[in-house]
Amino acid sequence: MTAGLMLVLMSITSAQIIGNNVIGSIEVTPRIEIAEIPSEFSAFRQVGCDKYVNVFGVHIFASQTTSEDKLSHAAGVLAQYLDNDEDGVPDNTLVLSQLVSRNVFIIMPGTEAEMERMEMEPVEEAGYRFGQGLYGEETKPDFLVDGKINAPDGHYYDGALEEILHPITQHGYANAYPEVFGEVRGSTLAKCMDAARGGYFERVPKGGPKSGYPAEAWYHYTDETCDYDCMVTEYIYWALTSILGTQDFPGRHEALEVEWELNTKERVRTGDPKVYELLTDPQYKFPTKAPDGNYSPSAFPVTVVPIIAIED
């Protein structure tokens, strides 16, 4: 996570009802509009946000130091991850239901330093527990334009492509398909990751030739603050974005190889065939086209999304 922060605020609210039963529904449309923060989200005003976008029931809040063009870009990336064919209908309602039932949100301060200064207690106390930080400074609308990557070097990347994907997989796919995408040892995805790391490691290993990992590893993430489930979140990000082609540009392989070696679709297909098969399996409806933030739905239908009771 380049933002260095995945917010999981763990307060307990009355909205948490034991069980996985449908307890209601909301209607969502593909319309994206930047607005003032609605009164029901006043806690986000208290922490310094002043702009809001609702994307299929998923919330994005931005501070004064984040420009509207970067907020609009982030909203477009989120919309394209959820509605990749841009027909106005979310591709995987099971996943979206998990996101909206958890009130998943993205918060966009202008900089990392601003994020560190934010006192998030009002948000936590209001019951918003599942959030993701994305900084305006790492959001780069010019990275992918008309299908062409514009990067001056291998380190240049649009942080929105990473940070917005994290909650979709962590809170959406992992809960919609726990045996397949659960961020726990033994899920199908976790087994793929264990192979990619050269074995099962609860924490970053020591002593191996690849940043502590065994020689056969092709995924060797070294952030010691990232536990096993976090490692799964990072792994699916690397694999999916490599399949989508956003890691495939001059200098990128060299920039990433300390952490991830399979930066192209072909490298994932041949080097990690099991995760390639998993992430391209049409039943799960992962995106097949890289988001560029220019979301243009062909229609504006209303989709009813079930709200389910959440235990965690």
Angle at 241 between CA 240 and CA 244, to 5 degrees: 90
Domain boundaries, the chain: 22-291
137-189 pLDDT per residue, tens = 999 999 999 999 999 999 999 999 999 999 999 999 999 999 999 999 999 99
CA proximity to 97, closest of 189, 11, 22: 22
Q: Are 60 and 74 in contact (CB under 8 A)?
A: yes
Give the model's confidence band at 311: pLDDT under 50 very low, under 70 low, under 90 confident, else very high.
confident
Q: DSSP code of 170?
A: I
Tens of pLDDT, residue by residue over 120-133, are 999 999 999 999 99
Q: Give this prediction's pTM.
A: 0.93
